[in-house]
Structure 1
Amino acid sequence: MAARDQFDTLAPEFAVHINGSPLPNEAVADIVSIDVLDDVDAMSMFAITVPGWDSANMQVKWMDADLFREGNPVEIELGYRDNLKPVLSGEITGLEPDFPEARPPTLTVRGYDRRHRLMRERKTLSFTNLKDSDIAGKLAASAGLRPQVVDTKVTLPYVLQHNQTDLEFLLGRAQRIDYEVVVEDRSLLFRPRKIKDTAALTLRRDIELLEFRPRMTTMGQVQELNVRGWNPSDKKEIVGRAVAGNESTLMGGHVSGPSNVKKLFSHTASTKVTDPVHSQAEADQMAKQKFREIALGYIKAQGVCIGDPKLRPGTVVKIEGIGKRFSGLYYVCSTEHRFSRKKGYRTAFSAQRNAT
């Protein structure tokens, strides 16, 4: 285990706080499993499973306890002996008792991070002369979250939220400009995707990395993308353009997906006209975002590693030991942290890369 000296991986541990207090010892001893599903483009979810039957008193257990009431705030930490890190802060939203035949009952406590507060109501609202970052700040505050937004710089004359939840609307606005909508504890972060960052951790084949399945395809890759709109004030077309070479980073590779199809195949291009565009700056921003999104889909991968709480969506991980073409940096899209008494702590993840 010398290669993993930062962790004692033979001693996985967890900590759960509910209503700001640690779980009572009886509940800690009863934990069967903990699952935390984290996604950069959706609400993160947790599931805590405990026994549902007290055989000594011949009655249900935990199902009526105030400890697991809906709305209770929950903080979950995972890791190893003397090295636990937070993986989710959220609220209980539901309970799932299970009474199977010929087996003892169980109770699964489910909940989400506080992005669920942005999913409670469909709205129709209009915003005038605001930036997307300003809109994100307003919606965060209305949900009782602290806004932490990165300036999007482009002021928009008119934006309509049409019969959408706040989260659907914000995710749509974020995807137009290569941003993320993330909630950490009680703060909402509206920020650029961090695919240019250095790796948060390194996973090596047969050491930390237990399974890895990348899939590279040139299908869907384009060497040029245009976003077209119309300026009614001067009656002129607006065209935003992005081409191979506009990728912000090659993520440790040498040839991007768009550059590869440019070299290998005949001219490939795409035009996006489904979304309204109000200015040249907005068209340029959208063209670069969509182009980078397409490029990032060049390699899609699924993996499983020894549990590591630092592996989070929105971060970059370095994969080593799988050859020159597929080793390198990957942008993590989603993770599933799972602790169980039988199997210990494992992390499954999905990731993407734009070059080989």
Structure 2
Amino acid sequence: MPPRGPDVPVPMFEILVNSSTLSVEAAARVVQVSVEEDTELPGMFSLEIVATDDLEDQFLWVDNEDLFSVGGLVEVKLGYADQLTSLFKGEITGLEPSFTSDRLPTLVVRGYDRRHRLARGRRTRSFLKKKDSDIAAQIAREAGLTAKATDSGVTHDYVLQADRTDFEFLLERASRINYEVVVEDKTLNFHPVANGEGEVMTLKADEDLAEFNPRLSSAGQVSDVAVRGWDPKNKKEIVGKSQSGDEVSTMGGTQAGAALSKKAFGAATGLLSRTPVAAQAEADQIAVARLNSASLELITGEAVCGGRTDLRPGKVVKIDGVGKRFGGQYYVTAATHVVTSDGYSTRFSFRRNAL
């Protein structure tokens, strides 16, 4: 990544608290802004603000309940000059003041997107004659969120939420069918993992990337998956199967993890016998989902580039300039955007299912 120079745009940020832009005075005291996004965890923001050297006002930010209070609404915009993009909308959940003898007091303000509301309190209840997408939509409505749920296809006679938070429960249901649970502002998205989509950008090692650290591992790769269950109505065994070739996409590669594993070590079946299934369609769906989720662990890693507001979890990026084996498409699973006096950088985690 090239160093900053006169032609490099200056990073900017804008913080809105309860729909009001942070004052110029307050913004001038902010020393760091970060936004962390993840396909498996609630999105989080943090900002660090330093006190003034005026003894009468050094606790101004710490004691200002009108400005920073638990439950306050926050929007974070990042970017360059007047090209700002909204990256986070959520709620303040924590305040962390720091008092040391060798520097001015600081206050770190933290908050999460509205997924955190789904993690408050455990429930035990049942859902009858519903698809997983129907369950996600119901839970979203109960949390005061708008649901945007992709039809999951299979209707379940009975689903038990046993001593789980709504968030834990939704993640479990999503994991079974290779879906994700994401909240954007007040909308809960329940949709398939999108590693089959086209890339939204290309990042070149010698121009855009400060770091690129991929890890290829055949551990956990299987040539096929079998899901076994019992049909209580017809009193017979259920077997759902998937195999190499059932991947949603090979992300521009020629050999997926399942095929690579079989070629190198021979056939190996991933057997799921403890996963509750009661219908053939459910077993088939889970088998394909497990093959896809396992394959997507073939290559994992992290990278760092100059700040990109369009680099978001759930998107596919293309990496160039790292050789043929590791060049190509990668699915972004997490991204951390940080703005400090040193500039704006984005660190992201990725996965790939093929070579």
TM range (shorter): over 0.9
Pair 1:59 & 2:61 matched: no
Contact 1:77 1:86 in 2 (8 A): yes
Structure 2 residues not aligned, in runs of 5+ = none
The match for 1:175 is: 175
CA contact (8 A) 2:14 2:76 kept: yes
**Which residue number corresponds to residue 18 of structure 2?**
19
Count residues in correspondence: 351
Once the 2 structures are TM-superposed, how far is the Cα of residue 230 of structure 1 from its aligned partner? Answer: 0.4
Shift, 1:77, TM fit: 1.0
Counterpart check, 1:196 vs 2:187: no
State the Cα distance separating 1:206 from its structure 2 match: 2.2
CA–CA separation in structure 1 for the residues paired with 2:24 and 2:327:
44
Residue number in structure 1 paired with 2:334: 334
Cα displacement (A) at 1:22: 1.0
| Matches for 1:289-308 after TM superposition, within 5 Å | 289-308=289-308
Deviations 1:52-73 (A, max 9, x none): 3542525312011111111111
Deviations 1:263-284 (A, max 9, x none): 1212211101222101111101
1:48 touches 1:108 (CA, 8 Å); kept in 2? yes
- Aligned twin of 2:316: 316
The AA in structure 2 aligned to 1:346 is S
CA-to-aligned-CA distance 1:233-255 (integer Å, 9 cap, x gap):
11111111111111111111111
Q: Which residue of 1 aligns with 2:30?
A: 31
Q: Distance between the aligned counterparts of 1:233 and 1:192, measured in 2?
A: 30
User: Partner amino acid for 2:217?
Assistant: T
Q: Which residue of 1 aligns with 2:259?
A: 259
Contact 2:223 2:262 in 1 (8 A): yes
Report the 3-state secondary structure (helix = DSSP H, G, I; strand = E; otherwise coil) of the residue aligned with 1:62: helix
The corresponding residue for 1:75 is 75
Q: Secondary structure at the match of 1:169?
A: helix
Q: Distance in 2 between matches of 1:202 and 1:294?
A: 25
Matched letter for residue 339 of structure 1: V
- Give, in whole Å, the separation in 2 of the partners of 1:43 and 1:58: 34
Cα displacement (A) at 1:169: 0.3
- Distance between the aligned counterparts of 1:120 and 1:265, measured in 2? 45
CA distance in 1, matches of 2:49, 2:116: 24
1:202-241 superposed matches below 5 A: 202-241=202-241
- Cα drift, residue 9 of structure 1: 4.0
Equivalent residue for 2:94?
94
- The aligned amino acid for 2:173 is R
Residue 283 of structure 1 corresponds to which residue in structure 2?
Answer: 283
Contact 1:15 1:77 in 2 (8 A): yes
8 Å CA contact 2:58, 2:105 repeated in 1: no
| 8 Å CA contact retained: 1:126, 1:158 | yes
Q: Match for 2:39: what amino acid? A: V
Supply the distance in 1 between the matched residues of 2:45 and 2:192 (Cα, whole angstroms).
25
SS of 2:275's partner is coil
Alpha-carbon separation, structure 2, partners of 1:315 and 1:59: 43
Give 1:83 deviation, angstroms.
1.5
Q: Match of 1:290, as an amino acid?
A: R
**Cα offset, 1:81, TM superposition:** 1.5
Aligned residue identity for 2:79 = G
Q: Secondary structure at the match of 2:173?
A: helix
Q: 1:52 to 1:83 in 2, by over 3 A?
A: same
TM superposition score normalised by structure 1: 0.96
- Deviates further, 165-174 or 263-272: 263-272
Give the alignment's TM-score, normalised by structure 2: 0.96
Question: Is residue 2:56 matched to residue 1:50?
Answer: no
Question: SS at the partner of 2:274?
Answer: coil
Alpha carbons 1:198, 1:316 under 8 Å: kept:
yes
8 Å CA contact retained: 1:51, 1:61: no
Provide the C-alpha distance between the structure 2 equivalents of 1:242 and 1:306, rounded to a whole number of angstroms.
40
Tell me how far apart the structure 1 counterparts of residues 311 and 100 of structure 2 sit (CA, whole Å).
35
Give the partner amino acid of 1:214.
P
User: What residue in structure 2 maps to residue 135 of structure 1?
Assistant: 135
Q: Gapped runs of 5+ residues in structure 1?
A: none
Please state how far the C-alpha of 1:190 moved relative to its aligned partner. 0.7
CA distance in 2, matches of 1:74, 1:46: 9
Aligned residue number for residue 123 of structure 2:
123
Per-residue deviation, residues 103-143 of structure 1 (Å, max 9, x unmatched): 21100000000001101110001000011111111100111
The percent of aligned pairs where both chains have the same amino acid is 48
CA distance in 2, matches of 1:303, 1:59: 38
- Distance of 2:257 and 2:246 partners within structure 1: 12
